[in-house]
Amino acid sequence: ADPRRRLSSVDVLDEAELARLDRWGNRAVLTVPTPASAPASVPALFAAQAARAPEAVALVCGDHSWSYREVDEAANRLAHMLAGHRVGPGERVALLFNRSAEAIVAILAVMKAGAAYLPIDPAVPDARIEFMLADAAPIAAVTTADLVERFDGYDVIVVDAGDPAVQRQPSTPLAGPAPDDLAHIVYTSGTTGVPKGVAVTQRNVTQLFDSLQIGIPLTPAQVWTQFHSYAFDFSVWEIWAALLGG
């Protein structure tokens, strides 16, 4: 019919097939209006939950439990300590923790200071830590006394989460991050090449839970596990879907 027509302009699918692809690809979601509510940060939503139920249990690890108020105040004190080391929006803070309640408090503290946290699993080899510190260039690191030596030789401020000086900091909140500030940088495994740091904003984290449906109602009576390594992106869903939902 038109021998001069470019092959690339010829669609090999008919209208019914194109409509089926639209349904499969959920293209209709592109026309859904954006929620009218203002976007918020993780610290802002956590503070709101802590205000609603300050004495409710937020974390349990071993024989110890922490209320929302205790977690909030502990994170505020560590955030003030970090702010004293010039940690703020636009900065990154490395975290090196075994699975623990202190690790959750440290994550929240970094975000309360306005910075993005860089989670590092202690199980990774030294070469991996060296790569991540060079690539992400954190201004500071938070860890525990038994792991602090793994930052020896690096040009980074190291804060021991158990330092008594942290307990002397104010328990009042800092200004906190904006919705478009970075929340975290989680690195891929590197199985297909060099590991890549994926930077995610506060807005993107909180929007994970806007339409969360897991088949059962989310209620304060539930208990969630932080099962995955906090250096794996699925941990973000595990931690904050629970804590921000009560």
DSSP per-residue string spanning the chain: --TTS-GGG---S-HHHHHHHHHHTTGGGGGSPPPSSPP--HHHHHHHHHHH-TTSEEEEETTEEEEHHHHHHHHHHHHHHHHTTT--TT-EEEEE--SSHHHHHHHHHHHHTT-EEEEE-TTS-HHHHHHHHHHH--SEEEE-TTTGGGGTTSSSEEEETT-HHHHTS--S------TTSEEEEEE---TTSS--EEEEEHHHHHHTTTT---SS---TT------S-TTSTHHHHHHHHHHTT-
For the entire predicted model, the pTM comes to 0.84
Q: Do the beta carbons of residue 187 and residue 198 sit within 8 Å?
A: yes
pLDDT-above-90 percentage for the chain: 81
Does residue 185 register a pLDDT over 80?
Answer: yes
Does residue 36 register a pLDDT over 60?
Answer: no
Instruction: Find the mean pLDDT for residues 158-166.
Output: 96
Q: Do the beta carbons of residue 142 and residue 94 sit within 8 Å?
A: yes
Q: Do the beta carbons of residue 110 and residue 117 sit within 8 Å?
A: yes
Cα distance between residue 22 and residue 220, in whole Å: 38
Q: How confident is the model at residue 177 (pLDDT cuts 50, 70, 90)?
A: very high
DSSP β-ladder status, 197-201 and 182-187 = antiparallel
User: How confident is the model at residue 190, as a pLDDT?
Assistant: 79
Among 208, 211, 210, 216, CA closest to 238: 208
DSSP β-ladder status, 182-187 and 140-143 = unpaired
User: How confident is the model at residue 45, as a pLDDT?
Assistant: 94
Q: How confident is the model at residue 1 (pLDDT cuts 50, 70, 90)?
A: confident
Quote the mean pLDDT of the chain: 92
Cα distance between residue 43 and residue 50, in whole Å: 10
